[in-house]
Chains A and B, each alone.
Chain A
Amino acid sequence: SEMATSMAASGSNLNFGEVGCRGLGYRQASLVSSLKFNKCIWNEISWSHRITKCVGINRYDIAISPIDVKFKPVKVVNAICSTDGSTKYFDFAVIGSGVAGLCYALEVAKHGTVAVITKAEPHECNTNYAQGGVSAVLCPSDSVESHMHDTIVAGAYLCDEETVRVVCTEGPDRVKELIAMGASFDHSEDGNLHLAREGGHSHHRIVHAADMTGREIERALLDAVIKDPNIFVFEHHFAIDLLTSQDGSDTVCHGVDTLNTETWEVVRFLSKVTLLASGGAGHIYPSTTNPLVATGDGMAIAHRAQAVISNMEFVQFHPTALAEEGLPVKPRKPRENAFLITEAVRGDGGILYNLSMERFMPLYDERAELAPRDVVARSIDDQLKRRNEKYVLLDISHKPREKILSHFPNIASECLQHGLDITREPIPVVPAAHYMCGGVRAGLDGETNVRGLYVAGEVACTGLHGANRLASNSLLEALVFARRAVQPSIDHMKGSRLDISASNCWSRPVVPMSLGGDVLGKILRKTREIRKELQLIMWQYVGIVRSTTRLETAEDRIAKLEAKWEKYLFEQGWEPTMVALEVCEVRNLFCCAKLVVSSALSRQESRGLHFTTDFPYLEESKRLPTIIFPCLAANSTWSSRQLHQQYTC
């Protein structure tokens, strides 16, 4: 299309490309995914070649230059925290209240006012459910090089080496700060931290708090946040879209529109700096370990704000989550976040069967149930898709009853509550989506291609995880990047001017009161159905074992489903600027789902978490991150464009 060509040719957008490649520290030219949904197709190969030629990126030797945030120094307005009706003004706006958001908030609060915007209760975040530990080099016999190596191997060599170095180097200090802040980690009697060793790690380096590391970190941070006079927490404020403007070829972020879901009021936040720390997107799938808040809001609002998205195809699944479908007594309400059955069940002799009681693992791998987790995940996925079934069975009942109950009392009691005795019957299991390795593309300071917008945590794609996350590296990534974004944010804040009248530069989202209760009820019911259908499409066609045909089918079906949903909405009287929590969440789920499918289609190799039968091997020439550039097209769907209209100011 004309737009794509002109963007490629014009110098300013090549700068964007440069920023996209060199400034963000990636070693090689990036693989560009064609974003077909917006009818703006960019030729994959020509883009990457063009970028390589113009920037002269050398595969192994790249100068990492930080992105210079260009701004004109202006007088700083001292109305740094005020309210004008339903517009609030802050120096810093933080979207998300997990470890990344709160760590950042506590630091920047020393320099200005901070709004922490969270869509539910502050502790409702993936952090709180990260129960394992934080990995860091804290033992003299361990080394940064070793941690780096383990990370890069786990990431199937798709990690950005500089990012890995930075994270592994700075991790230990971040952990020590948490301890100083009051987080209580397990230790030995001599006072040294107790370090565990998880799969994929060559050394003991996992710091943990009994069995609730995430929760403990979250508790310590929230305590500090509540006490901080400069931090204002806005619970039950759902982020709708970022407020952005164009400054030449740059997109600039000025804040975010939110919906107070308790009062049904739209609240606009204008801020000099915005940190997106909104976490994961597990709920694009029907079975996930993530809490309900994880609907990919951050990735979606960033994409709509013209931020570059990367590596969305790398979705981490766990192979054996308890499948409620297979329980004799169904839970009264569906479990929000899946119960993962530990590898130890298989390690202790558990056997996997399909519903015809055939033991299938030996067909896929000589190691059978003891094959690596990724192999088990693919095998289960394959069985389910082949046989069109909803779960498989994990049987430990042949082991002594006392051992089962002593090793796995949690599983035993959970199943017994639902009528299943695991000492006598097999456990129904199904893979669950757990972690998004991809997200909003971030530089080494958490900066994005949108000025004034920083990202940290699971919503970001920093280059740390590559094609697969190493255990316990996610909390670490959040800690390190939240900290690294602090100084650049402060610098940016000091050079920014908060224009009170800027609030009128964008139309306001509206709550759909005018529709009336009946129509709204119908819309919400329909939206819930559509959400389930979308999740099913994703599981069926964008699961663990992929293929070009299935991905293209997903693309097609998702497009049709989205069109059907939008048509229904607008026929019922829904206006494009209307907002409601569940409707906006589904809007974001569609956006994320499309990003995942699009990315998966563009990776013509199998690497890490992305496995496709059409390209089942690793391909050295494809060892590149997947990049999705935004594309403003005239006929984009409602989920692809920002809600508000931008007026000229």
Chain B
Amino acid sequence: MASNLGRLFTTLAEQSKPKLGFLSSRSETGTLFKSNAARRLISSSTPSSNQQENPKKEREVAEEEISSEPKMSLENDFKDDEDEGNEDDGDDGESVHVNKETGEVGGPKGPEPTRYGDWERAGRCSDF
């Protein structure tokens, strides 16, 4: 990783190419951008995080990981914040899910929650 990404951001900004004009079908209420330069900067003045290192590879991995249980039962999902229902049973002797790839005990079934960088369960993101 570059040791001084601060300078890299500015360099990226200067190098990025202008985009095509917008396909607006309506007149804009209020001018958000003074120029095309500002518009392209939305994409370039951002530190690129690790999360998108290998989006293709991660997508393939994600598809391979499609759970052998295609239908996830809703009880296992993090569904509702107010849902005080069934807490994790942990290791109390009932069959606990062990992730074959990672060896994780009692963890979430299905695709790895962090495969796209954020923390997701059954589609709902709770940390990023």
- Identify the A interface with B (CB < 8 A): 128-133, 149-150, 153-154, 156-157, 184, 186-190, 194, 196-202, 206, 208-212, 291, 318, 337, 339-348, 356, 358, 360, 363-367, 370-375, 378-379, 382, 385-388, 402-403, 405-414, 434, 468, 471-472, 545, 547, 550, 606, 608, 611, 613-614, 616-618, 620, 623
Give residues 37-93 of B contacting A (CB, 8 Å). Answer: 37-39, 41-43, 45-52, 55, 58-59, 62, 66-67, 70-72, 74, 77-79, 81, 88, 90
A471, B119: Cβ atoms closer than 8 Å: yes
> Closest approach, in angstroms, between the C-beta of A375 and any C-beta of chain B?
5
Q: Of the candidates A157, A187, A370, A550, which one forms a contact with B104 in the assembled complex, judged by CB atoms under 8 Å apart? A: A187
> Closest approach, in angstroms, between the C-beta of B37 and any C-beta of chain A?
7
> Closest approach, in angstroms, between the C-beta of A604 and any C-beta of chain B?
14
B106, A186: Cβ atoms closer than 8 Å: yes
| Cβ contacts A to B, 12 pairs, < 8 Å | A132-B128, A194-B105, A198-B114, A199-B128, A206-B114, A387-B29, A407-B111, A412-B123, A547-B32, A608-B47, A613-B32, A618-B9
A468 to B9, CA, bound (A): 15
Most buried by A among B19, B30, B59, B72: B30
A364, B43: Cβ atoms closer than 8 Å: yes
> Closest approach, in angstroms, between the C-beta of A514 and any C-beta of chain B?
37
A131 to B127, CA, bound (A): 7
A343 to B124, CA, bound (A): 9
Q: Of the candidates B26, B47, B67, B122, which one forms a contact with A411 in the assembled complex, judged by CB atoms under 8 Å apart? A: B122
A410 to B119, CA, bound (A): 14
Chain B contact residue count (CB 8 A cutoff): 77
A202 to B49, CA, bound (A): 10
Given contacts A187-B105, A385-B32, contact A606 B5 (CB under 8 A): no
Q: Of the candidates A199, A407, A472, A611, which one forms a contact with B49 in the assembled complex, judged by CB atoms under 8 Å apart? A: A199
Chain A residues closer than 8 Å to B55, beta-carbon distance: 347, 370
Chain A residues closer than 8 Å to B33, beta-carbon distance: 382, 613
A375, B42: Cβ atoms closer than 8 Å: yes
A580 to B106, CA, bound (A): 45
0/1 string, B93-128, CB within 8 A of A gives 1: 000001000111111101111111111111111111
A149, B1: Cβ atoms closer than 8 Å: yes
> Closest approach, in angstroms, between the C-beta of A246 and any C-beta of chain B?
41
Given contacts A409-B77, A545-B32, contact A364 B105 (CB under 8 A): no
- Identify the B interface with A (CB < 8 A): 1, 5-7, 9-10, 13, 19-20, 22-26, 28-30, 32-34, 37-39, 41-43, 45-52, 55, 58-59, 62, 66-67, 70-72, 74, 77-79, 81, 88, 90, 98, 102-108, 110-128
Chain B residues closer than 8 Å to A370, beta-carbon distance: 52, 55
The 3 closest A-B pairs by CB, nearest first: A199-B117, A132-B127, A199-B51
A387 to B115, CA, bound (A): 33
Chain B residues closer than 8 Å to A345, beta-carbon distance: 123
Chain B residues closer than 8 Å to A200, beta-carbon distance: 49-51, 117
Given contacts A347-B116, A617-B10, contact A371 B102 (CB under 8 A): no
Question: In the complex, which residue of chain A has the Cβ closest to the Cβ of B38?
Answer: A613
A202 to B51, CA, bound (A): 10
B110, A374: Cβ atoms closer than 8 Å: no
B47, A154: Cβ atoms closer than 8 Å: yes
Chain A residues closer than 8 Å to B29, beta-carbon distance: 385-388
Known: A348-B59, A373-B117. 6 other contacts (CB 8 A): A187-B105, A198-B128, A344-B118, A356-B25, A382-B33, A616-B41
Chain A residues closer than 8 Å to B120, beta-carbon distance: 342-344
A131, B126: Cβ atoms closer than 8 Å: yes
A170 to B111, CA, bound (A): 32
Q: Of the candidates B46, B77, B102, which one forms a contact with A372 in the assembled complex, judged by CB atoms under 8 Å apart? A: B46
> Closest approach, in angstroms, between the C-beta of B20 and any C-beta of chain A?
7
Most buried by A among B62, B67, B117: B117
Given contacts A190-B103, A348-B59, A378-B42, contact A410 B117 (CB under 8 A): no
B122, A408: Cβ atoms closer than 8 Å: yes
Chain B residues closer than 8 Å to A620, beta-carbon distance: 6-7
> Closest approach, in angstroms, between the C-beta of A416 and any C-beta of chain B?
12
Question: In the complex, which residue of chain A has the Cβ closest to the Cβ of B41?
Answer: A616
Chain B residues closer than 8 Å to A153, beta-carbon distance: 1, 5, 47, 49
A252 to B108, CA, bound (A): 48
A184, B90: Cβ atoms closer than 8 Å: yes
B123, A408: Cβ atoms closer than 8 Å: yes
B45, A471: Cβ atoms closer than 8 Å: no
Chain B residues closer than 8 Å to A382, beta-carbon distance: 32-33, 42
Chain B residues closer than 8 Å to A346, beta-carbon distance: 116
Chain B residues closer than 8 Å to A196, beta-carbon distance: 112-114, 119
A574 to B105, CA, bound (A): 58
Q: Of the candidates B98, B116, B118, which one forms a contact with A189 in the assembled complex, judged by CB atoms under 8 Å apart? A: B98
Given contacts A342-B118, A370-B55, A410-B122, contact A188 B105 (CB under 8 A): yes
B77, A410: Cβ atoms closer than 8 Å: yes
> Closest approach, in angstroms, between the C-beta of A280 and any C-beta of chain B?
14
> Closest approach, in angstroms, between the C-beta of B26 and any C-beta of chain A?
6
A209 to B121, CA, bound (A): 13
Chain A residues closer than 8 Å to B111, beta-carbon distance: 344, 407
Chain A residues closer than 8 Å to B79, beta-carbon distance: 410, 413-414
B127, A348: Cβ atoms closer than 8 Å: no
Q: Of the candidates B38, B52, B110, B125, which one forms a contact with A616 in the assembled complex, judged by CB atoms under 8 Å apart? A: B38
Given contacts A187-B104, A341-B124, contact A364 B81 (CB under 8 A): no
Chain A residues closer than 8 Å to B22, beta-carbon distance: 360, 363
Chain A residues closer than 8 Å to B62, beta-carbon distance: 344, 347-348
A210, B122: Cβ atoms closer than 8 Å: no
A199, B123: Cβ atoms closer than 8 Å: no
> Closest approach, in angstroms, between the C-beta of A28 and any C-beta of chain B?
14
Chain B residues closer than 8 Å to A617, beta-carbon distance: 9-10, 13, 41, 45
Chain A residues closer than 8 Å to B88, beta-carbon distance: 184, 209-210, 212
A129 to B119, CA, bound (A): 12
> Closest approach, in angstroms, between the C-beta of A389 and any C-beta of chain B?
10
> Closest approach, in angstroms, between the C-beta of B16 and any C-beta of chain A?
9
> Closest approach, in angstroms, between the C-beta of B54 and any C-beta of chain A?
11
> Closest approach, in angstroms, between the C-beta of A457 and any C-beta of chain B?
16
A211, B128: Cβ atoms closer than 8 Å: no
> Closest approach, in angstroms, between the C-beta of B120 and any C-beta of chain A?
3
B125, A340: Cβ atoms closer than 8 Å: yes
A533 to B31, CA, bound (A): 22
A411, B126: Cβ atoms closer than 8 Å: no
